[in-house]
Amino acid sequence: MLAVKNLSHDYEGKGNYAVRNVSFSIPEGTIFGFLGPSGAGKSTVQNILIGLLPLQQGEVTYTGKSIRDQDAKFFNQLGVSFEHPNVYGRLTGYENLKYFAGLFDVPTLDPLKLLEAVNLTEAAHRKASAYSKGMRQRLVFARSLINNPKMLFLDEPTSGLDPNTAAIIKEIILQKKKDGCTIFLTTHSMATADDLCDTVAFLNEGKMVAMDSPRNLKLAYGERSVRVEYGDNGRVLEQVFFLDKAEDHRLFTDLVQSQRIQTIHTQEATLEQIFMRLTGRGLA
């Protein structure tokens, strides 16, 4: 289990916190989705968890052992897929994987099989500098699996991929979970989080605003929501109201009384909408 307690991070040491007082834990064999708009601090948290950034405040423990006390062997259990695909451009896809496989003390997977799994078989022996961004991203994803890690950290693994390829990656992630892997998944994409995660946490401006299973979040915030289309000075506007919220309830009844309503649909709120309600901003 990975446990994070009261994590804060200040890059420049000027009291300007990129991440503030973040706590959560990820039980073994589950997928934890870390969601938030750009600049929320998602990558910062991931980088602290994998030791790329120093732990300034708070505590991070892996099965009870602080990250401060981990040695080089710790990395044998870790797989990391980076936000910006970082591969050796002068090495082929195959060579990139082969090289990294050689760095671990634990048994590693067959590079060619991994490349096949992410649809890179044909490009396996081409230099990575000739790969498209999406191909490089798949290569980095494949690389994160090379040492059969117990803990997988995936920073935006599907961003910028076409739906088919993204589906392949998601399938692999679910398979890894079945194998008992604990997964920390960072993403903008609420749909991805919804499909994959056991728990999601919303991060906004460095702070956690909600954390629960997607289903519970929807139950809590989405059960009694209605989407309303209404006329406003000749334009048609659309808005979602969460009727359990006093404020929303009041606005909704006002709207009903104004008789400007054109259509009403009850609906299950998406994670995206819930995030908007919680933070007053979108995810983009």
Partner 1 sequence: MKRFISMFMQDLILANRNGLILVTGILLIAMLALVLFLPKQLKIHNEMILDLSQGTILATYLNNQGVGEDVVFIEEQEFNQKLEKQPNKVGVIFSGDLENPVFAFLINSQIPMENINLLKASLDRAILDLRGESTATIPVRFLRGVMQTPPLNLKIIPIALVFEVVLLGFFFVSVMMFQEKQEATLRAYRVTPGGAWNYILSKNLLFIVLSIAYGLPLLLVGFGLSINYGLILLLVVMTASMMTLISLFIAVFFRNLSEWFFVGVAVLVINSLPSISYGIPSFSPAWMSWIPSYPAVFAVRDVLFNAATWVDVLPTIVLLLVLNGIGFLLAYLAIQRKLLKEG
Ligand X SMILES: Nc1ncnc2c1ncn2[C@@H]1O[C@H](COP(=O)(O)OP(=O)(O)OP(=O)(O)O)[C@@H](O)[C@H]1O
Q: Which is nearer to ligand X, 48 or 217 (CB)?
A: 48
Interaction between residue 36 and ligand X (CB under 6 A):
yes
Q: Which stretch binds partner 1 (CB under 8 A): 26-34, 101-109, 262-270, 276-284?
A: 101-109
Of these, 18, 140, 146, 210, which contacts ligand X (CB under 6 A)?
Answer: 18
- Region from 59-67, 69-77, 213-221, 262-270 binding partner 1, contact rule CB under 8 A: 69-77
Query: What's the min distance (Å) between Cβ of 164 and partner 1?
Result: 26
The interface with ligand X within residues 50-89 (CB under 6 A) comprises: 83
Closest distance of CB 75 from partner 1, Å: 5
145 binds partner 1 (CB under 8 A): no
Find the binding residues for partner 1 in span 204-223 (CB under 8 A). Answer: none
Does 173 sit near partner 1 (CB under 8 A)? no
Side-chain-facing half-sphere of 107: CA atoms under 13 Å: 2
Q: Which amino acid is at 182?
A: T
Q: Is 88 an interacting residue with respect to partner 1 (CB under 8 A)?
A: yes
> Which lies closer to Mg ion via its Cβ, residue 18 or residue 114?
18
CA count, 13 A, side-chain hemisphere, 52: 12
Binding status of residue 133 toward partner 1 by CB under 8 A: no
Measured from the CB of residue 98, what is the shortest distance to partner 1 in angstroms? Answer: 8
Q: Is position 104 an interface residue for partner 1 (rule: CB under 8 A)?
A: yes
Binding partner of 209, given partner 1, Mg ion, ligand X, none, CB within 5-8 angstroms per partner class: none
DSSP labels for the chain? Answer: -EEEEEEEE-SSSSS--SEEEEEEEE-TT-EEEEE--TTSSHHHHHHHHTTSS---EEEEEETTEEGGG--GGGGGGEEEE-SS----TTSBHHHHHHHHHTT-SS----HHHHHHHTT-TTTTTSBGGGS-HHHHHHHHHHHHTTT--SEEEEESTTTT--HHHHHHHHHHHHHHHHTT-EEEEEES-HHHHHHH-SEEEEEETTEEEEEE-HHHHHHHHHTTEEEEEEEETTEEEEEEEETTSHHHHHHHHHHHHHT-EEEEEEEPPPHHHHHHHHHSS---
CB of 82 to Mg ion, least distance (A): 10
215 near ligand X, rule: CB under 6 A: no
CB of 98 or CB of 207, closer to partner 1? 98
- With CB under 5 to 8 Å by kind, the binding choice for 36 among ligand X, partner 1, Mg ion, none is ligand X
CA–CA distances in Å: residue 111 to residues 87, 92, 139, 144: 14, 11, 10, 11
Residues 134-193 that bind ligand X (CB under 6 A): 188
Angle between helical axes of 133-144 and 163-178 (0-180°, round to 10): 0
Site residues for partner 1 per CB under 8 A: 50-54, 72-76, 78, 80, 82, 84, 86-91, 95, 98-105, 140, 143, 147
Q: Which residues bind ligand X (CB under 6 A)?
A: 11, 18, 36, 38-44, 83, 188
